[in-house]
Structure 1
Amino acid sequence: MGILTVVEDRPTPPQVYNWRIYLLAAIASSASCMIGYDSAFIGQTIELQSFRDEFNFGEWPAAKQNLVKANIVSLYQAGAFFGALLAYPIGFYCGRKWGLWVAGMIFTLGAGLMLGTNGDRGLDLMYVGRVLAGIGVGSGSNLTPIYISELSPPAIRGRLVGIYELGWQIGGLVGFWINFGVSQHLPVSHKQWIIPFAVQLIPSGLLLVGVVFIRESPRWLFGRGRRQEAIATLCWIRQLPEHDVYIVEEIGAIDQAIDEQNAHIGPGFWNPFRAAGTNPRVMWRLFLGFMLFFWQNCSGINAINYYSPTVFNSMGITGSLNQQMSGIFGVVKTVVTWIWLLFLIDHLGRRKLLIGGAVGGSISLWIIGAYIKIKDPEHNASAKLNSAGIMAIVFFYIYTATFSPTWNGTPWVLNAEMFDPNMRSLAQAVASSSNWLWNFLISRFTPQMFANMGYGVYFFFASLMILSIFFVFFFIPETKGVPLERMDRLFQIKPVWRSHGHILAQLRDEEAEFRSAMQVSNSYDGKPKDEFVETA
């Protein structure tokens, strides 16, 4: 199986896998570049000597320093929590396209306020800017996966939503290395630490400009009754004429899903809330989406993202080597995310990735924690790393290489695809807010955890990763290759670990019946429609 081969739910014309679908996903994923950059740069920037000197960190006790740093980092996540919820009304009334534009504007305003911070004004502008920027990225984290999933053919949906995660890692890569660059090439000054804050405006600017030129989600247009515009947009994205059998099938599936959801949930802004509170099936799926991000954040990845200097200090790595190790961490994450995007997500599937990532990540964290407990390198510093220290570094990067192509992006893919049309926006709001809630708690208390628990932090996260294996195996069905309009049926099949095979068998039978009926009725132009290519 080639790296770009796709596994299809039905015969698909090759035109469907065209450059337009990738370009739309890439532009929308500028929102995730904003998120990834912040998660990487902020923890290192506030550790720069220029930042510490400007705000007189040296005059404060260690407890106050930890509190201020935690506030600077975590206010962003607090804003993102509310931004993820705010995205529901924005996406419902404005659509996915203009919802992304609003998110970019809010983020840009917040980033601009941060640039007004200096020693004379204090940190008040920084705090306000962090909250506003968080609201912007929280909204973007809701809308971007929805937008991409609603454009995607099932066979490459994981790959396309994965571009969102790739944007996150590219932003993170820049964020990890920028502080190394300014610390090596700029003198200790206001300019040294303000430049990393100013770079935030680049991805937000790309999003604001790019969104003007992208197309609205056809599924949102169908849901709003703008049928002709929806069909024209769908044909443009697929590069197929309106009467092509593939387009006819897709429109039929969308219409059927909307009719079913209108009957069971109902159209309108408030009906999804009623369904969430009264329909056990909906509540169960919302719970699954919420918990996926609990397990993701309890892997320890965001403790490393936001406080990588603290993490490497605990392993006895200081000075410029600390910054270089953080930069390599960003490189590893980006490289393995490419592998996840191109090959793993749409071939191995979601369940295998999550279970395998939890196993590899947990083993690595147990080993790192054991090394720190035995050697205590932070308090027994040496001029160079010994063999045990090198082993700990190797397992740190093994943890990175197993977690990044599994738990980092896969929960976003699952939450973007496992809900029905009328519930999708609200469900993504719940899932995104869950991510930012746990993200906030981790970023807010990580300094205190390292101060009080030491090596126990690694054992804590390793234990939670073991528990996540059982959660995924018993509760999360495989969604690879299943059309969005068939997710409700997938989640009704038990047991969970066999549901994927059953649903694909049903879809193949229905596809054969539909095409047979189309040929008999001769509804297209009187010619058989067998000329479909089954691989991209």
Structure 2
Amino acid sequence: MGFFEKVEDRPTPKSVYNWRVYAIAAVAGSAAVMIGYDSAFIGGTLALPSFKSEFGFNKMSKHEVDFLSANIVSCYQAGAFFGALAAYAAAFFVGRARGMAIFSAIFCLGAGLMLGANKERGLGLIYGGRVLAGIGVGGCSNIAPIYISEISPPAIRGALVCMFELGWQIGGLVGFWINYGIAETLAPSHSQWIIPFAVQLIPSGLLLAGSFWLRESPRYLMSKGKRELAIKNLCWIRQLSEDDLYMKEELYAIDQNIERQMVDGGLGFWQPFKLLARSKRIQWRFFLGGSLFFWQNTSGINAINYYSPTVFKSIGIVGTNTGLFTTGLFGVVKTVFTIVYLLFLVDSFGRRRLLMIGAIGGSFCLWYVGAYIAIAKPALHQSAKLSSGGISAVFFFYVWTAFYSPTWNPTPWVLNSEMFDNNVRGLGLAFAAANNWFWNFIVARFTPQMFTTMGYGVYFFFASLMILSAIFVYFLIPETKNIPLEAIDRLFDRRLKASQAHAIVWAELEQEEEALRAGLAAGLEKEGHMVSQVEEV
């Protein structure tokens, strides 16, 4: 199969893969620009001499600086945890598109508050603003992947959900380089460190404006009984008429799924909680979805994102600007390989294989970096020029990034956006996103202390967990690529081995598709025969 060849669950008109569906995914995915930017800029901004001087960091002990830095970074993740949970209610009562508008507005408020911080007012406005901004990104991190997965044709669902991850990396790229740019071009001052905080308003403002262009998810509208508007929106997204056979099949699948939800107990706000409480099958999927974010965050990525100057200093890179430049290259590598993932990998190689490749390859690289630091002890032999061993360690660090970025960075979001039934999807992704932000908080809060106390052992710790994540995926995570959302439930039948589930369900879908098309064709033939009889009379 070629890289750009689409594996379709049924014959699909070319118009379904139109510019509009990609534009919708890009606008919704831009929610992640806010997330990526923050994760990238905050560590570098805290490392700027101007920030340290204004808030007295240069007069504190290392323990005090570690404590304050960890608090500034992690209060954002704490807010995001609660935002992800609150997003379930927002997505249920006001919908996906308006939910994103609400949370992007909250982010704008938080970003604005941070701009009021200075030496006289202290760090209070930064703390408060980061909590509000965290609530905003937590809500968007829940709603945006749900929305994208619900409007996506199955054959390109992985690529479209990956727009969310691409936005994350674009935001990160800007965040990494803006610190280097202002450090190089502006003298240390209040303006130097406040500019990166102000830039946060750009992506949040653009998402707030763009969310009013988005059409509400047809699946959401159908669940609320707004059938006419749902059909209108689906026709607009697919660029097909209601009478098209593809549209009839998609509407039929949505109807069947909603009927099944009604049989299971209804579509109320509390119904997903009731289903979760009594269904081990649903509980199992919640466990898998949340666990994916545990493994993602314990790969070391957020330790590197939030404290990249500290990471590169441990390898032997000295100087604030040199560290920021090296961090900027890290952002470039992440973005490039995310684009590779979106264009070539996610809907061709699938989810399982990529996760295992990324875990095993990334683990090897971290073992190498940790071993170099353990043997060479670069912190004790600092030099303006890296040794050959130091260069090789930096090289393997970038190779780790190349393994991680197209695998564990985006794939847990893709899997969680598609692995839950429609009746629990909102709650499922809220739980998964909350897991992401919980483990993100743990890593962000304790990374400075880990580097201080564990040294090179931090790399061995993350490398070991990456190996365990590969084992977890092999035995427990089934492949989901190209399977329609309405059939995802079958993949998680505990009687099926994870490695075999996709092939079995795909074969079942092909048989059902043939039967359905035969039935629809027979119905149309019968209808045409009846019309001809009436005309004869």
Could you tell me the TM-score, scaled by structure 2's length?
0.97
Partner of 1:4: 4
Alignment of 1:109-508 (within 5 A): 109-319=109-319, 320-492=321-493, 494-508=496-510
Could you tell me the TM-score, scaled by structure 1's length?
0.97
Could you tell which deviates more after superposition, 488-497 or 475-484?
488-497
Counterpart secondary structure, 2:423: helix
Partner of 1:518: 520
Alpha-carbon offset, residue 89 of structure 1: 0.3
Does the Cα contact within 8 Å between 1:299 and 1:465 map onto a contact in 2? yes
| 1:269-319, Cα deviation, whole Å (9 max, x unpaired) | 001111112210010000000100000001000000000000000000021
Alpha-carbon offset, residue 481 of structure 1: 0.4
Alpha-carbon offset, residue 2 of structure 1: 4.0
Cα distance in 2 between the residues matched to 1:200 and 1:242:
41
| 1:46-97, Cα deviation, whole Å (9 max, x unpaired) | 1100000100111111101100000000000000000000000000000000
Letter in 2 for 1:474: F
Does the Cα contact within 8 Å between 1:31 and 1:207 map onto a contact in 2? yes
Cα distance in 2 between the residues matched to 1:246 and 1:131:
45
Alpha-carbon offset, residue 383 of structure 1: 3.3
Does the Cα contact within 8 Å between 1:265 and 1:422 map onto a contact in 2? no
Counterpart secondary structure, 2:500: helix
Letter in 2 for 1:509: Q
| % identical equivalent positions | 60
Cα distance in 2 between the residues matched to 1:393 and 1:41:
21
Cα distance in 1 between the residues matched to 2:28 and 2:445:
29
Does the Cα contact within 8 Å between 2:101 and 2:208 map onto a contact in 1? yes
Letter in 1 for 2:455: G
Could you tell which deviates more after superposition, 4-13 or 221-230?
4-13
Does the Cα contact within 8 Å between 2:165 and 2:409 map onto a contact in 1? yes
Letter in 2 for 1:479: T
Cα distance in 1 between the residues matched to 2:524 and 2:98:
41
Does the Cα contact within 8 Å between 1:369 and 1:458 map onto a contact in 2? yes
Partner of 2:534: none
Cα distance in 2 between the residues matched to 1:277 and 1:464:
30
Alignment of 1:95-110 (within 5 A): 95-110=95-110
Letter in 1 for 2:132: L
Alpha-carbon offset, residue 213 of structure 1: 1.0
Letter in 2 for 1:78: A
Does the Cα contact within 8 Å between 2:77 and 2:441 map onto a contact in 1? yes
Counterpart secondary structure, 2:386: coil
Would you identify which runs of 4 or more consecutive aligned residues in structure 1 move more than 4 Å?
523-527
Cα distance in 1 between the residues matched to 2:478 and 2:328:
36
| 1:174-229, Cα deviation, whole Å (9 max, x unpaired) | 00000000001011100000000000000001001111111000000000000010
Letter in 1 for 2:202: I
Letter in 2 for 1:247: M
Cα distance in 2 between the residues matched to 1:382 and 1:187:
25
Partner of 1:80: 80
Does the Cα contact within 8 Å between 2:3 and 2:345 map onto a contact in 1? no
Does the Cα contact within 8 Å between 1:245 and 1:524 map onto a contact in 2? no
| 1:458-498, Cα deviation, whole Å (9 max, x unpaired) | 00000001111111011100000000000111211501110
Does the Cα contact within 8 Å between 1:243 and 1:524 map onto a contact in 2? no
| 1:350-396, Cα deviation, whole Å (9 max, x unpaired) | 00000000001100000000000000101211231121111111100
Counterpart secondary structure, 2:84: helix
Letter in 2 for 1:520: A
| 1:12-46, Cα deviation, whole Å (9 max, x unpaired) | 00000000001111111121000000000000001
Counterpart secondary structure, 2:10: coil
Could you tell which deviates more after superposition, 133-142 or 206-215?
206-215
Alpha-carbon offset, residue 526 of structure 1: 4.7
Counterpart secondary structure, 2:95: helix
Cα distance in 1 between the residues matched to 2:11 and 2:265:
32
Partner of 2:20: 20
Cα distance in 1 between the residues matched to 2:312 and 2:498:
40
Query: CA 1:160–1:526 in 2, change beyond 3 Å: closer, same or farther?
Result: farther
Cα distance in 1 between the residues matched to 2:265 and 2:476:
23
Structure 1: gaps (5+ residues): 528-536
Letter in 2 for 1:373: A
Does the Cα contact within 8 Å between 2:3 and 2:348 map onto a contact in 1? no
Cα distance in 2 between the residues matched to 1:523 and 1:390:
71
Does the Cα contact within 8 Å between 2:318 and 2:382 map onto a contact in 1? no
Cα distance in 2 between the residues matched to 1:354 and 1:495:
17
Alpha-carbon offset, residue 524 of structure 1: 10
| 1:244-271, Cα deviation, whole Å (9 max, x unpaired) | 1100000010111111122124210001
Cα distance in 1 between the residues matched to 2:240 and 2:149:
19
| 1:90-128, Cα deviation, whole Å (9 max, x unpaired) | 000000000000010100000000000000000001100
Does the Cα contact within 8 Å between 1:265 and 1:272 map onto a contact in 2? no
Counterpart secondary structure, 1:318: coil
Alpha-carbon offset, residue 4 of structure 1: 2.5
Cα distance in 2 between the residues matched to 1:504 and 1:411:
22
Cα distance in 1 between the residues matched to 2:19 and 2:517:
28
Does the Cα contact within 8 Å between 1:244 and 1:524 map onto a contact in 2? no
Cα distance in 1 between the residues matched to 2:88 and 2:363:
35
Cα distance in 2 between the residues matched to 1:102 and 1:173:
26
Does the Cα contact within 8 Å between 1:101 and 1:211 map onto a contact in 2? yes
RMSD: 1.1
Counterpart secondary structure, 1:258: helix
Query: CA 1:265–1:366 in 2, change beyond 3 Å: closer, same or farther?
Result: farther
